[in-house]
Structure 1
Amino acid sequence: MPLALLSACTAGPSTRPGIVVNDGVQQQAPPVAQPSGPAPLPELGTPANAKIRWSPCAAEITATLPRTTLPTECARVSAVLDSPSLPGQGLARLQVLKIGSGPVPVAVFNDVDGVPGTVYAARLAAALPPALLTEVSLVGVDRRGTGGSDPARCVPEETRTGIVGLDPRELDVEAAVDQARTAGQQCSITLEVRLQALDTWRSAGDAETLRVGLGMTRLHAIGHGEGSRVLSVFAERYPDRVGRLVLDGLPDPNPDAKIVLEGVAEGADATFGAFAEDCAARGCELGNARAALTEILDRAETDPLSTPDDIGITPGVVLRVLLAGLSDRQSWPTLSRALADLRSGNTSGVAAAITPVLRETENRAATFDATLVTRCNDTKSRLATEQLTAAAKDWNTRFPVFGALTAQWLAVCSPWPIPSRELPQPSARTAPPIVVLGTATDPVTPLSGTDHAAQQLATASLVTWQGAGHGALGSSACATEAAAAFITEGAVPRDGTVCPP
């Protein structure tokens, strides 16, 4: 069934003139001659000689997924660890999930600090047009070090809690650096050669491993947020193996983390403004969201509550929960209710959001560890204490909600070893057309950074949703239809297309 673009989409201004087996490792494919210019959009194709063996998902996986009537299967894929100290060697096991009845697999990569890719793919399937899932199947990938893909477990619980619990408004960057130094030392001991193998460069290699395992000549894929960067790096490394890529909320590729994070702080504060306006418009439990947040943070500073498993609800915890909740536009009512409950002394909503970040169980690692390792491995910027303090003070003044919290990422990565390989700034000049989706008010990957990234991709077509939240796919009908038509019909949207709020 054709999936046409909605008529509400309009054209706006543009500034742009190996082998895999379940228990083996990837073998290097012979070099392929590169074309001299952009390639045409490839056909969808169908799998041939697929090597992944699918089976029913284990109970611990299905328990994390939304209810669905779509067929769902799981598998494990083996990739090369490829640590800088052991190039081309070692084993990385990846958990993957296939959902949908369509014959063409479309890989899905999520943010490293979001839900695992398997869970995100299942949630995304519920938000996409049903007809799409009869033509393609989504294959969610838990990024290396996350979810079921040999999750990173290396930061001591007290250190993890210490970093997250810091009140960013105190601008004590030395405390953050000290805690991060302890985390880095322990992760180096615990993870050994795996430590520097958890990054975006090697996740892009995992995407190539997945392509071979799926039996596809080219990889069709969807990236969400920082997961989009995995696919843009894939397009740079393997342009002749790029299929139909949709990059939703592509991050700014600027190697200067200070510049990138300044944009993130601005976008996060703007998204809180949109949340406050939405709260007022629907008469939410918070009333005046800005005044309520100030009240909640002040109480968290002077008389913090605790969750049932003894997590202190500090200002740092509140702000992290708020930022995570702002990312999902559909969850804003749940977020406002959780904050209102917290103001009344009920910690259940905040506890549900922060516990997976800080606490690990036998079957689930704390998500903080993989986020810390991957983000710092991807970041080359290392600033002196004076520079960190100056940035924190400046951002806290200009972006009073999230400025200081965002500056903490500069601090926690400062004692980390500088990565052995700097991430490229992808141009993918010989790749086929790529669709990039941007959101006007995004707290994680602001539109300014997505636009910058799209301008650097030679064949990118940018579609902008004039809404709020992290990512447009599944939230904007216009952007979702554009992506679906591109994947199934090869209809490349006009660069500069604008979708209404």
Structure 2
Amino acid sequence: MPAVVTRPDAPARPARWTLRALTGAVVAVLVVAGCAPAKDQAQVPTSAATSSGAPTPDLAPFYDQVLEWSSCAQGECATATVPLDYADPTGASIGIALARQRATGGEALGSLLVNPGGPGVSGVDFLAQAASTVSDDVQRQFDLVAFDPRGVQRSSPVACVDGPQLDEVVSFDADYSTDEGIQEAADVFGELGAACLERTGAALGHVDTVSAARDLDVLRAALGDDALTYLGYSYGTQLGATYAALFPERVGRLVLDGALDPTLTSDELAEGQAVGFENALRAYVADCLAGTSCPLDGSVDEGMQQVRDLLDLAVADPLPTGTDRRLTGSLAFYGIAMPLYAQQLWPYLTQGLTAAIEGGDGSVLLQLADAYFDRQPDGTYATNSTEAFWAIGCVDDRQSADPDEMRAQAERIEAAAPTVGSFFSYGGVVCAQWPVPLVGGLEDYSAQGAAPILVVGTTNDPATPYAWAEKLATTLSSASLLTYEGEGHTAYGSSNDCVADAVDGYLLSGTVPPEGTRC
């Protein structure tokens, strides 16, 4: 059966981003009360406003720069200058956009840099949500500082196509049953990549995670902090882990929530996320069937099959939506996947499935897919997150584009995740014709000598499966794992007091939760 083109490694978004599709209102993420774990004390350096410590003389001008802050909608904003290419620091430079909320308690201990994930999600736009997520105690002690990583939104952003052209790409259903169908999919993304290079220029080849982590150290120095204090969600954990591996001696307190281990290959990421979303969908279906207004019926297995049948229908005969756009299989998948990021969004999925299954109406699922992609009602896209996602993914790692290897991988994925697995298969087509070279990652992510790092994992996280948090906690030599037993993507600020207390204790006093702490 035909499968749809997926983004490389499939969805990865923060749980707390704004749902604009249905009513334009922000969906609040509720905090559930929980137990506070026992704690151990560890000596962890805090940030202090002293020297920058540039790694090389050529980088000293970047490390020693003085940020010029001005008032903006987010509070205070500034732009830091970094090299486009760290192998040639005297060459071209680019700007990294920053936004800051000052510590509410007066003089700050230092800066808490936050990254919402993606890759491709704007940290500057996320700052207001971070302020509603991070505890008041932490905000009294730290300046909250958000940034747009290189290639994202305000920081030399990747630019590719206009709204109607992006609509075509994200709604495209490929037929992978033939070599011709696979080639057509590769050509679609090849044309997209060519457009990205034409509109973005040389920066397209320098949006890799390793360069972004080097930027993070420049930001640390420009903010006047000797050590990095950092809160990273989802892909932000990969960025934080990369920083720790590059600069272990400058690690202060790093919270990595919704972990993505950078040693995983693209194939491992694709299969892991397929299983993660399969499990999250199964939990939703069980909850839906236990309610009174579920459009599904029978057993959980039967309910999962009904969702699969809907996805197959959308591929074969896209559903009407009351607009000139129809709900393709690709859009139906993203409309289903988006509410799985947080259990509080499950009622929207019930609305979407009810309309589609009982009324043949794809409009609600289309709205949910549009929310995932930051598409606005006028047909424009509010951010460049989708294009940046592809661009960063294709310079960081690439799956094999060999048809036989992709078919073998698809069999493994679909056996492990029969309901949604096809939407995580054939990811090699995305980067097969990408017009800039692969940059890749680091050889060693152990971060030997780093101060204690806190990894947070959720047991039924769809986008970053719990096994990845377990893996990252072993990859990083100084990491401890905090487990949240629950649903949804990421935990700090959206789960319970047990998680909040553990993370706050670590950020404020270096208190690392005891090994094996579960909330």
Structure with the greater relative contact order (CA < 8 A, sep ≥ 6): 1 or 2?
2
The answer to whether structure 1 residue 354 and structure 2 residue 370 are counterparts is yes
The 1-side partners of 2:46 and 2:83 are apart by 31
Q: 1:214 aligns with which of 214, 223, 233?
A: 223
CA contact (8 A) 2:446 2:475 kept: yes
Match runs of 1:64-83 below 5 Å: 72-83=74-85
The answer to whether structure 1 residue 129 and structure 2 residue 135 are counterparts is yes
Give the structure 1 partner of residue 54 of structure 2: none
Give the structure 2 partner of residue 446 of structure 1: 465
Structure 1 residue matching 2:205: 3-state secondary structure: helix
- Deviation string for 1:298-356 (max 9, x for gaps)? 44234424567744311111112322321233322233334434454262563254267
Give the structure 1 partner of residue 315 of structure 2: 301
| Structure 1 position 469, deviation (Å) | 1.3
Give the structure 2 partner of residue 21 of structure 1: none
CA contact (8 A) 1:267 1:441 kept: yes
The answer to whether structure 1 residue 379 and structure 2 residue 397 are counterparts is yes
Which segments of 5 or more consecutive residues in structure 2 lack a partner in the other structure? 1-32, 52-63, 298-302
RMSD: 3.1
Give the structure 2 partner of residue 265 of structure 1: 274
Tell me: CA distance 1:312–1:421, structure 2 relative to 1, closer, same or farther (3 Å): same
Give the structure 2 partner of residue 184 of structure 1: 193
| Structure 1 position 232, deviation (Å) | 0.9
Q: 1:462 aligns with which of 469, 476, 481?
A: 481
Which segments of 5 or more consecutive residues in structure 1 lack a partner in the other structure? 12-38, 59-71
The answer to whether structure 1 residue 42 and structure 2 residue 48 are counterparts is no
The 2-side partners of 1:335 and 1:115 are apart by 23
Give the structure 1 partner of residue 239 of structure 2: 230
Match runs of 1:302-341 below 5 Å: 302-305=316-319, 310-341=324-355
Tell me: CA distance 1:346–1:307, structure 2 relative to 1, closer, same or farther (3 Å): closer
> Amino acid of the residue matched to residue 503 of structure 2?
A
The 1-side partners of 2:492 and 2:335 are apart by 22
| Structure 1 position 271, deviation (Å) | 1.1
> Amino acid of the residue matched to residue 351 of structure 1?
Q
Give the structure 1 partner of residue 251 of structure 2: 242
CA contact (8 A) 1:272 1:326 kept: yes
Tell me: CA distance 1:151–1:342, structure 2 relative to 1, closer, same or farther (3 Å): farther
Structure 2 residue matching 1:202: 3-state secondary structure: helix
Give the structure 2 partner of residue 413 of structure 1: 431
- Deviation string for 1:148-188 (max 9, x for gaps)? 32321114656633442233686553332221111222222
| Structure 1 position 438, deviation (Å) | 0.8
Give the structure 1 partner of residue 514 of structure 2: 494
Q: Report the TM-score, using the length of structure 1 for normalisation.
A: 0.81
| Structure 1 position 115, deviation (Å) | 4.1
Structure 2 residue matching 1:320: 3-state secondary structure: helix
The 1-side partners of 2:475 and 2:130 are apart by 27
The 1-side partners of 2:191 and 2:440 are apart by 23
| Structure 1 position 287, deviation (Å) | 4.3
Give the structure 2 partner of residue 150 of structure 1: 156
The 2-side partners of 1:88 and 1:402 are apart by 48
| Structure 1 position 142, deviation (Å) | 1.9
CA contact (8 A) 1:376 1:413 kept: yes
Tell me: CA distance 1:41–1:388, structure 2 relative to 1, closer, same or farther (3 Å): same
- Deviation string for 1:4-27 (max 9, x for gaps)? x9745479xxxxxxxxxxxxxxxx
Tell me: CA distance 1:259–1:313, structure 2 relative to 1, closer, same or farther (3 Å): same
Q: 2:125 aligns with which of 112, 119, 123?
A: 119
| Structure 1 position 50, deviation (Å) | 9.2
Q: Report the TM-score, using the length of structure 2 for normalisation.
A: 0.78
Q: Which moved more, 1:318-327 or 1:451-460?
A: 318-327
CA contact (8 A) 1:249 1:471 kept: yes
Q: Which moved more, 1:374-383 or 1:276-285?
A: 276-285
Structure 1 residue matching 2:136: 3-state secondary structure: coil
Tell me: CA distance 1:308–1:427, structure 2 relative to 1, closer, same or farther (3 Å): farther
The 1-side partners of 2:34 and 2:381 are apart by 43
The 1-side partners of 2:88 and 2:372 are apart by 32
The 1-side partners of 2:356 and 2:114 are apart by 35
Tell me: CA distance 1:207–1:287, structure 2 relative to 1, closer, same or farther (3 Å): same
Structure 2 residue matching 1:350: 3-state secondary structure: helix
Structure 1 residue matching 2:512: 3-state secondary structure: coil
The 1-side partners of 2:466 and 2:116 are apart by 18
| Structure 1 position 244, deviation (Å) | 0.7
| Structure 1 position 485, deviation (Å) | 0.7
Give the structure 2 partner of residue 90 of structure 1: 92
| Structure 1 position 197, deviation (Å) | 0.9
Give the structure 2 partner of residue 254 of structure 1: 263
Number of aligned residue pairs: give it: 455
Percent identity among equivalent residues? 27
| Structure 1 position 93, deviation (Å) | 2.2
The 2-side partners of 1:117 and 1:282 are apart by 37
Tell me: CA distance 1:384–1:95, structure 2 relative to 1, closer, same or farther (3 Å): same
| Structure 1 position 248, deviation (Å) | 0.5
CA contact (8 A) 2:460 2:488 kept: yes
| Structure 1 position 53, deviation (Å) | 3.5
The 2-side partners of 1:445 and 1:284 are apart by 30
The 2-side partners of 1:383 and 1:254 are apart by 20
Give the structure 1 partner of residue 166 of structure 2: 160
- Deviation string for 1:115-166 (max 9, x for gaps)? 4223334223323433332222322222222233232111465663344223
The answer to whether structure 1 residue 55 and structure 2 residue 58 are counterparts is no
Tell me: CA distance 1:355–1:480, structure 2 relative to 1, closer, same or farther (3 Å): closer
| Structure 1 position 45, deviation (Å) | 3.9
The 2-side partners of 1:114 and 1:338 are apart by 26
| Structure 1 position 260, deviation (Å) | 2.6
CA contact (8 A) 2:351 2:364 kept: no
CA contact (8 A) 1:268 1:402 kept: yes
Tell me: CA distance 1:498–1:351, structure 2 relative to 1, closer, same or farther (3 Å): same
Tell me: CA distance 1:92–1:336, structure 2 relative to 1, closer, same or farther (3 Å): farther
Tell me: CA distance 1:401–1:148, structure 2 relative to 1, closer, same or farther (3 Å): farther
The 2-side partners of 1:432 and 1:352 are apart by 41
